[in-house]
Protein backbone atom coordinates (compact mmCIF):
# COMPACT_ATOMS: atom_id res chain seq x y z
CA UNK A 1 0.00 0.00 0.00
CA UNK A 2 2.83 2.41 0.87
CA UNK A 3 4.43 1.69 -2.53
CA UNK A 4 1.13 2.43 -4.26
CA UNK A 5 0.79 5.74 -2.41
CA UNK A 6 4.35 6.65 -3.36
CA UNK A 7 3.65 5.84 -7.02
CA UNK A 8 0.53 8.04 -6.95
CA UNK A 9 2.54 10.87 -5.38
CA UNK A 10 5.24 10.45 -8.04
CA UNK A 11 2.59 10.85 -10.75
CA UNK A 12 1.28 14.06 -9.16
CA UNK A 13 4.84 15.42 -9.08
CA UNK A 14 5.02 14.93 -12.88
CA UNK A 15 1.82 16.85 -13.56
CA UNK A 16 1.60 20.59 -14.35
CA UNK A 17 0.93 23.15 -11.64
CA UNK A 18 -2.80 23.94 -11.56
CA UNK A 19 -5.23 26.13 -9.61
CA UNK A 20 -7.53 23.20 -9.01
CA UNK A 21 -6.84 20.17 -6.81
CA UNK A 22 -5.03 16.86 -7.28
CA UNK A 23 -5.75 13.87 -5.07
CA UNK A 24 -3.94 10.53 -5.00
CA UNK A 25 -5.66 7.11 -4.86
CA UNK A 26 -9.14 8.66 -4.60
CA UNK A 27 -12.10 6.21 -4.34
CA UNK A 28 -14.49 6.48 -7.28
CA UNK A 29 -17.24 4.12 -6.09
CA UNK A 30 -18.94 6.83 -3.96
CA UNK A 31 -19.35 9.11 -6.99
CA UNK A 32 -20.76 6.53 -9.39
CA UNK A 33 -24.39 5.46 -9.54
CA UNK A 34 -23.51 1.75 -9.30
CA UNK A 35 -21.42 2.49 -6.17
CA UNK A 36 -18.74 0.02 -7.23
CA UNK A 37 -15.19 0.13 -8.58
CA UNK A 38 -11.65 0.97 -7.58
CA UNK A 39 -9.88 4.30 -7.10
CA UNK A 40 -8.46 6.88 -9.47
CA UNK A 41 -4.67 6.83 -9.45
CA UNK A 42 -4.95 10.62 -9.42
CA UNK A 43 -8.17 12.66 -9.36
CA UNK A 44 -8.01 16.21 -10.74
CA UNK A 45 -10.73 18.78 -10.02
CA UNK A 46 -10.01 21.76 -12.30
CA UNK A 47 -10.84 25.25 -11.09
CA UNK A 48 -12.35 26.27 -14.45
CA UNK A 49 -12.01 25.77 -18.21
CA UNK A 50 -8.75 27.73 -18.39
CA UNK A 51 -7.27 25.59 -15.62
CA UNK A 52 -8.35 22.46 -17.50
CA UNK A 53 -6.79 23.76 -20.71
CA UNK A 54 -3.52 24.52 -18.90
CA UNK A 55 -3.47 20.99 -17.50
CA UNK A 56 -3.85 19.46 -20.96
CA UNK A 57 -1.23 21.76 -22.46
CA UNK A 58 1.30 20.76 -19.80
CA UNK A 59 0.54 17.13 -19.02
CA UNK A 60 3.07 14.39 -19.92
CA UNK A 61 2.01 12.68 -23.14
CA UNK A 62 2.30 9.19 -21.61
CA UNK A 63 -0.24 9.86 -18.83
CA UNK A 64 -3.74 8.55 -19.65
CA UNK A 65 -6.65 10.87 -18.91
CA UNK A 66 -10.29 9.97 -18.23
CA UNK A 67 -13.07 12.54 -17.79
CA UNK A 68 -16.02 11.88 -15.46
CA UNK A 69 -19.30 13.65 -14.93
CA UNK A 70 -21.53 12.27 -12.17
CA UNK A 71 -20.83 8.62 -12.98
CA UNK A 72 -24.37 7.77 -14.14
CA UNK A 73 -23.85 5.70 -17.29
CA UNK A 74 -20.56 4.28 -16.10
CA UNK A 75 -18.99 1.14 -14.66
CA UNK A 76 -15.60 1.61 -12.99
CA UNK A 77 -13.78 -1.73 -12.78
CA UNK A 78 -12.53 -2.98 -9.42
CA UNK A 79 -8.83 -2.39 -10.12
CA UNK A 80 -9.41 1.35 -10.52
CA UNK A 81 -8.44 3.80 -13.25
CA UNK A 82 -4.77 4.42 -14.11
CA UNK A 83 -3.49 7.91 -14.82
CA UNK A 84 -5.53 11.03 -14.18
CA UNK A 85 -9.30 11.07 -13.76
CA UNK A 86 -10.80 14.53 -14.26
CA UNK A 87 -13.98 15.42 -12.38
CA UNK A 88 -15.80 18.42 -13.81
CA UNK A 89 -17.34 20.14 -10.82
CA UNK A 90 -19.28 23.27 -9.99
CA UNK A 91 -17.25 25.53 -12.28
CA UNK A 92 -18.56 23.51 -15.24
CA UNK A 93 -22.19 23.44 -14.12
CA UNK A 94 -23.21 27.00 -14.98
CA UNK A 95 -26.47 27.46 -16.94
CA UNK A 96 -27.44 30.69 -18.74
CA UNK A 97 -30.48 31.58 -20.82
CA UNK A 98 -29.81 33.74 -23.91
CA UNK A 99 -33.07 34.38 -25.74
CA UNK A 100 -34.36 30.92 -26.66
CA UNK A 101 -30.92 29.31 -26.28
CA UNK A 102 -29.65 27.55 -23.17
CA UNK A 103 -25.90 27.77 -22.52
CA UNK A 104 -24.93 24.88 -20.25
CA UNK A 105 -21.60 23.74 -18.85
CA UNK A 106 -20.54 20.15 -19.45
CA UNK A 107 -20.88 19.44 -15.72
CA UNK A 108 -24.47 20.67 -15.51
CA UNK A 109 -26.99 17.96 -14.69
CA UNK A 110 -29.31 17.19 -17.61
CA UNK A 111 -32.36 17.39 -15.36
CA UNK A 112 -31.23 20.75 -13.97
CA UNK A 113 -30.87 22.11 -17.50
CA UNK A 114 -34.41 20.96 -18.31
CA UNK A 115 -35.84 22.56 -15.16
CA UNK A 116 -33.92 25.81 -15.68
CA UNK A 117 -35.26 26.02 -19.24
CA UNK A 118 -38.80 25.30 -18.02
CA UNK A 119 -38.69 28.10 -15.44
CA UNK A 120 -37.47 30.48 -18.18
CA UNK A 121 -40.35 29.47 -20.45
CA UNK A 122 -38.08 27.60 -22.88
CA UNK A 123 -39.55 24.36 -24.26
CA UNK A 124 -38.05 21.58 -26.33
CA UNK A 125 -35.53 20.43 -23.71
CA UNK A 126 -37.85 18.59 -21.36
CA UNK A 127 -36.58 15.20 -22.59
CA UNK A 128 -33.38 15.98 -20.66
CA UNK A 129 -35.33 15.60 -17.41
CA UNK A 130 -35.47 11.87 -18.21
CA UNK A 131 -31.75 11.53 -19.02
CA UNK A 132 -29.44 10.72 -16.07
CA UNK A 133 -26.06 12.41 -15.96
CA UNK A 134 -24.51 15.63 -17.24
CA UNK A 135 -24.47 17.61 -20.47
CA UNK A 136 -20.93 16.44 -21.28
CA UNK A 137 -21.96 12.81 -21.14
CA UNK A 138 -25.15 13.56 -23.05
CA UNK A 139 -23.08 15.09 -25.86
CA UNK A 140 -20.67 12.15 -25.96
CA UNK A 141 -23.55 9.65 -26.21
CA UNK A 142 -26.03 11.80 -28.13
CA UNK A 143 -28.28 10.93 -25.22
CA UNK A 144 -32.00 10.84 -25.72
CA UNK A 145 -35.28 9.80 -24.17
CA UNK A 146 -39.01 10.32 -24.56
CA UNK A 147 -38.92 11.51 -28.15
CA UNK A 148 -35.89 13.80 -28.05
CA UNK A 149 -32.11 13.58 -28.25
CA UNK A 150 -29.15 15.95 -28.16
CA UNK A 151 -28.76 16.10 -31.94
CA UNK A 152 -32.26 17.63 -32.13
CA UNK A 153 -31.37 20.64 -29.98
CA UNK A 154 -27.59 21.15 -30.24
CA UNK A 155 -26.44 24.45 -31.71
CA UNK A 156 -22.75 24.12 -30.87
CA UNK A 157 -20.36 22.63 -28.33
CA UNK A 158 -17.16 24.01 -26.85
CA UNK A 159 -14.48 21.32 -27.04
CA UNK A 160 -11.01 21.04 -25.56
CA UNK A 161 -8.28 19.30 -27.61
CA UNK A 162 -5.42 17.24 -26.12
CA UNK A 163 -3.02 20.17 -26.66
CA UNK A 164 -5.21 22.49 -24.57
CA UNK A 165 -6.79 24.39 -27.47
CA UNK A 166 -10.50 25.22 -27.18
CA UNK A 167 -12.82 25.38 -30.21
CA UNK A 168 -16.54 25.82 -30.84
CA UNK A 169 -17.96 23.09 -33.07
CA UNK A 170 -21.41 22.87 -34.60
CA UNK A 171 -23.55 19.74 -34.48
CA UNK A 172 -22.41 18.53 -37.90
CA UNK A 173 -18.76 18.61 -36.81
CA UNK A 174 -19.55 16.32 -33.87
CA UNK A 175 -20.99 13.61 -36.11
CA UNK A 176 -23.75 12.75 -33.65
CA UNK A 177 -25.36 9.35 -34.21
CA UNK A 178 -27.49 6.93 -32.21
CA UNK A 179 -25.88 6.79 -28.77
CA UNK A 180 -22.55 8.12 -29.95
CA UNK A 181 -20.55 10.80 -31.75
CA UNK A 182 -17.60 10.88 -34.13
CA UNK A 183 -15.43 13.10 -31.93
CA UNK A 184 -12.30 11.27 -30.67
CA UNK A 185 -12.38 10.20 -27.03
CA UNK A 186 -9.42 12.46 -26.21
CA UNK A 187 -11.56 15.57 -26.82
CA UNK A 188 -13.28 17.00 -23.74
CA UNK A 189 -16.62 18.77 -23.82
CA UNK A 190 -16.58 22.04 -21.89
CA UNK A 191 -20.06 23.43 -22.60
CA UNK A 192 -22.93 23.41 -25.09
CA UNK A 193 -25.48 25.76 -26.62
CA UNK A 194 -28.91 24.16 -26.88
CA UNK A 195 -31.81 25.44 -28.97
CA UNK A 196 -35.22 25.73 -27.35
CA UNK A 197 -38.43 27.58 -28.10
CA UNK A 198 -40.55 30.07 -26.18
CA UNK A 199 -43.51 28.32 -24.59
CA UNK A 200 -45.82 28.53 -21.60
CA UNK A 201 -44.21 27.16 -18.43
CA UNK A 202 -47.35 25.21 -17.57
CA UNK A 203 -47.22 23.22 -20.82
CA UNK A 204 -43.52 22.42 -20.38
CA UNK A 205 -44.04 21.42 -16.73
CA UNK A 206 -46.91 19.11 -17.73
CA UNK A 207 -44.68 17.25 -20.19
CA UNK A 208 -41.92 16.94 -17.59
CA UNK A 209 -44.42 15.60 -15.05
CA UNK A 210 -45.45 12.96 -17.59
CA UNK A 211 -41.82 11.98 -18.17
CA UNK A 212 -41.27 11.67 -14.40
CA UNK A 213 -44.40 9.53 -14.05
CA UNK A 214 -43.37 7.20 -16.89
CA UNK A 215 -39.83 6.82 -15.54
CA UNK A 216 -41.08 6.00 -12.04
CA UNK A 217 -43.51 3.39 -13.37
CA UNK A 218 -41.13 1.68 -15.80
CA UNK A 219 -37.55 2.08 -14.51
CA UNK A 220 -35.76 1.10 -11.26
CA UNK A 221 -34.66 4.69 -10.66
CA UNK A 222 -34.39 4.32 -6.88
CA UNK A 223 -31.81 1.53 -7.08
CA UNK A 224 -28.05 1.46 -7.60
CA UNK A 225 -28.04 1.23 -11.37
CA UNK A 226 -26.29 2.77 -14.35
CA UNK A 227 -29.31 3.40 -16.56
CA UNK A 228 -29.94 1.52 -19.80
CA UNK A 229 -27.25 -1.13 -20.14
CA UNK A 230 -27.39 -1.98 -23.85
CA UNK A 231 -28.14 0.12 -26.92
CA UNK A 232 -31.22 -0.80 -28.93
CA UNK A 233 -30.23 -2.79 -32.04
CA UNK A 234 -31.59 -1.60 -35.37
CA UNK A 235 -35.30 -2.37 -35.56
CA UNK A 236 -35.50 -3.88 -32.08
CA UNK A 237 -35.65 -3.00 -28.39
CA UNK A 238 -32.90 -4.34 -26.15
CA UNK A 239 -35.23 -5.03 -23.22
CA UNK A 240 -37.54 -7.17 -25.37
CA UNK A 241 -34.61 -9.29 -26.59
CA UNK A 242 -33.33 -9.67 -23.02
CA UNK A 243 -36.78 -10.72 -21.82
CA UNK A 244 -37.18 -13.17 -24.71
CA UNK A 245 -33.84 -14.76 -23.77
CA UNK A 246 -35.12 -15.40 -20.23
CA UNK A 247 -32.75 -13.00 -18.50
CA UNK A 248 -35.21 -11.04 -16.34
CA UNK A 249 -34.15 -11.49 -12.70
CA UNK A 250 -30.79 -13.19 -13.43
CA UNK A 251 -28.19 -12.76 -10.68
CA UNK A 252 -24.40 -12.86 -10.53
CA UNK A 253 -23.00 -12.26 -7.05
CA UNK A 254 -24.60 -9.03 -5.88
CA UNK A 255 -25.67 -7.93 -9.38
CA UNK A 256 -29.14 -8.53 -10.79
CA UNK A 257 -31.10 -7.91 -13.98
CA UNK A 258 -33.99 -5.65 -12.98
CA UNK A 259 -37.37 -7.33 -12.97
CA UNK A 260 -39.03 -3.94 -13.51
CA UNK A 261 -37.02 -3.11 -16.66
CA UNK A 262 -34.66 -5.83 -17.83
CA UNK A 263 -32.31 -3.49 -19.72
CA UNK A 264 -31.19 -2.22 -16.31
CA UNK A 265 -28.58 -3.99 -14.17
CA UNK A 266 -28.76 -3.40 -10.42
CA UNK A 267 -26.25 -3.50 -7.58
CA UNK A 268 -28.37 -5.15 -4.88
CA UNK A 269 -25.92 -3.90 -2.24
CA UNK A 270 -22.96 -6.30 -2.34
CA UNK A 271 -22.01 -6.32 -6.04
CA UNK A 272 -18.51 -5.78 -7.34
CA UNK A 273 -17.87 -4.24 -10.74
CA UNK A 274 -16.83 -7.74 -11.87
CA UNK A 275 -20.26 -9.06 -10.85
CA UNK A 276 -22.03 -6.40 -12.90
CA UNK A 277 -19.84 -6.82 -15.96
CA UNK A 278 -20.09 -10.61 -15.83
CA UNK A 279 -23.86 -10.39 -15.60
CA UNK A 280 -23.95 -8.07 -18.59
CA UNK A 281 -21.79 -10.45 -20.62
CA UNK A 282 -24.01 -13.37 -19.66
CA UNK A 283 -27.05 -11.41 -20.84
CA UNK A 284 -25.28 -10.71 -24.14
CA UNK A 285 -24.40 -14.40 -24.52
CA UNK A 286 -27.95 -15.56 -23.86
CA UNK A 287 -29.53 -12.96 -26.14
CA UNK A 288 -27.19 -13.93 -28.98
CA UNK A 289 -27.92 -17.63 -28.46
CA UNK A 290 -31.68 -17.02 -28.42
CA UNK A 291 -32.03 -14.36 -31.13
CA UNK A 292 -28.81 -14.07 -33.12
CA UNK A 293 -28.52 -10.41 -32.06
CA UNK A 294 -25.31 -9.25 -30.42
CA UNK A 295 -26.13 -6.49 -27.95
CA UNK A 296 -23.67 -3.62 -27.59
CA UNK A 297 -22.92 -2.03 -24.23
CA UNK A 298 -24.36 1.45 -23.77
CA UNK A 299 -22.79 1.80 -20.33
CA UNK A 300 -19.18 2.97 -20.51
CA UNK A 301 -16.79 0.55 -18.78
CA UNK A 302 -13.43 1.96 -17.69
CA UNK A 303 -10.42 0.95 -15.63
CA UNK A 304 -8.65 -2.28 -14.82
CA UNK A 305 -10.29 -5.53 -13.74
CA UNK A 306 -8.92 -6.60 -10.35
CA UNK A 307 -9.42 -10.24 -11.28
CA UNK A 308 -11.15 -12.01 -14.14
CA UNK A 309 -14.90 -11.85 -14.72
CA UNK A 310 -16.97 -14.33 -12.74
CA UNK A 311 -17.63 -17.64 -14.41
CA UNK A 312 -21.04 -17.93 -16.07
CA UNK A 313 -21.75 -20.97 -13.89
CA UNK A 314 -22.26 -18.58 -10.98
CA UNK A 315 -25.30 -17.05 -12.67
CA UNK A 316 -28.52 -17.81 -10.84
CA UNK A 317 -32.07 -16.59 -10.51
Active site residues: 179, 228, 298
Tell me how far apart the 2 most distant CA atoms of the chain are, in Å: 60
Contacts 24+ apart (CB under 8 A), 208-216: 208/114, 208/115, 208/118, 208/126, 208/129, 211/126, 211/127, 211/129, 211/130, 211/145, 211/146, 212/129, 212/130, 214/130, 214/146, 215/130
Amino acid sequence: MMAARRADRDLIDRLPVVRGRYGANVPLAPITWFRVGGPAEVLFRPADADDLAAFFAGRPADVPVTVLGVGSNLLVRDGGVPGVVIRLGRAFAKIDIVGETVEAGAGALDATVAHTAMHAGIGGLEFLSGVPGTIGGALRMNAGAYGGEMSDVLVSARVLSPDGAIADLDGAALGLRYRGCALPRDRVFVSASLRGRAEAREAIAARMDEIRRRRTETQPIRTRTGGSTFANPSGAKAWELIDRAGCRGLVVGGAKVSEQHCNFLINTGTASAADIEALGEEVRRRVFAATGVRLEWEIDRIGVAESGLRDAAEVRR
